[in-house]
Structure 1
Amino acid sequence: MDIKDRILYEDNHLIIINKLCGELVQGDVTGDETLADLVKEYLRVNYNKQGNVFLGIPHRLDRPTSGIVVYAKTEKALIRLNELFKGSAMKKTYWAIVDHMPNQTEGTLVHYIVRDTKTNKSVALSVEKKGGKLAKLDYKLISASKNYFLLEVNLHTGRHHQIRAQFAAIGLHIKGDLKYGAARSNPDGGICLHARSISFTHPVKKEQITLTAPPPDDALWNAFVSEGH
């Protein structure tokens, strides 16, 4: 899908994109092309920019995850977005398709996340441990099919692989997420975790922005979306 078709919002300060599963938000050791590269090229061509194109990255999404990514087009916007993402002023909602019904249809999960940099994986513990960081999220069941369950998730903290690790800790596995215990991979190599919506005050214009990103175009996501969620 062309990058232009995935722009959810753009002005002089921000450009917000619906990321595909498998895209890197920014460069890593693989050296693979990134979403940032595609956005920079779009800005260079669309606005006839010469030389290096500035693009600030105030937050990340895991590579196999899809959904809303916010980029800054100016340094002023980047500095202010960094502050927004650090605090609670940025409201982020995710959708996750999991393989089991949770014990409660809605609730709050509180754990301590311990990250293993060697395996690039996190473990969610119920008791505090040295090096652990507090992780908190709210979830609720919003739909179900024969084999899968759609949960809406609101994050209170932003830890490494937080949703994936916290769900694994209570016996839920996100569809396709082999790293955290799913039975099988998805055909596209992604996982069924989607940054669905975001709401925040524009860092420069000070107006409220609320955006929703359509999930990946596949049969299971489409079935849930067709139910009106």
Structure 2
Amino acid sequence: MKVAIPILFEDNHLLVVEKPSNILSQEDHTGDLDMLTLLKEDIKERYNKPGNVYLGLVHRLDRPVGGVMVFAKTSKSAARLSDQIRKREFKKTYMAVVHGRPMKEKETLVHYLLKDNKSNIVSVVKKDREGAKEAILDYEIVETVESYSLVKINLHTGRPHQIRVQFATIGNPLHGDQRYGKGVNQVGQQIALWSHEIACQHPTSKEDMVFTSLPEKRMPWNMFQMNGFE
């Protein structure tokens, strides 16, 4: 199946795209479409490349989440980008629509998360729990309309389901999140979480680069002015 994936930037070292919602970042047991396979096939076709195409997955987005995603076109680029992520120099900004209005206009959230690999559910646990990993983000409320708030999120750690779990924990689950907001969301709703901006250093030129993307203006995104996300 051919899927049109918008390319935001490409050179010999990087491929930056806008991931559509509901596509896996990489192949899993389902055998469903995934970004890595789709993009490798696209590169092979566009450049008429024989044999295997290298494309490095340096970070992931949850299946239902869309937006900016950065891939490495060489192993050297992959190593350098991974090093930036490890040093927290690879900056990721998300936008989300949450239920209600968080108590504080701006706040840093710190929790300890544990993933159950069997159920694929992430829980908040005590710091000393075996396997617990620190999860840090900061957010600010951009706008509140009716019973929903648009928030801007700077992600400092990249834990599985981190944003979804942390906002559910403070009582503001994401719109459309079936897993961590069952009581307030309806089956079939699309999760309102988007990878808005990635800022990183080019792996070879060392130039500072910023890539941005906005979701389509459909419910619930179209409820908001999107000021602050230009």
The equivalent residue for 2:82 is: 82
RMSD: 1.7
Displacement of 1:37 in angstroms is 1.9
Runs of 4+ in 1 over 3 A off after TM superposition: 125-128, 225-229
Q: Which runs of 5+ in 2 are unaligned?
A: none
Q: Distance in 2 between matches of 1:176 and 1:145?
A: 16
Read off the aligned partner of 1:48 and give its amino acid letter.
N
Structure richer in helix, relative to its length: 1
| 3-state SS in 2 of match to 1:168 | helix
Q: Which runs of 5+ in 1 are unaligned?
A: none
The equivalent residue for 2:119 is: 119
TM-score where L is the length of structure 1? 0.92
The equivalent residue for 1:184 is: 185
Q: Percent identity?
A: 42
CA contact (8 A) 2:13 2:77 kept: yes
Displacement of 1:59 in angstroms is 0.9
| 3-state SS in 2 of match to 1:180 | coil
Displacement of 1:126 in angstroms is 5.8
The equivalent residue for 2:132 is: 132
Residues 49/210 of structure 1: CA separation in 2 closer, same or farther (3 Å cut): same
Residues 74/162 of structure 1: CA separation in 2 closer, same or farther (3 Å cut): same
Read off the aligned partner of 1:60 and give its amino acid letter.
R
Q: Distance in 1 between matches of 2:168 and 2:224?
A: 22
TM-score where L is the length of structure 2? 0.92
Displacement of 1:78 in angstroms is 1.0
The equivalent residue for 1:146 is: 146
| 3-state SS in 2 of match to 1:80 | helix
Summarize the alignment of residues 151-166 of structure 1 with structure 2, pairs less than 5 Å apart: 151-166=151-166
Displacement of 1:179 in angstroms is 0.3
Read off the aligned partner of 2:90 and give its amino acid letter.
M
Q: Distance in 2 between matches of 1:186 and 1:96?
A: 18
Equivalenced residues, count: 226
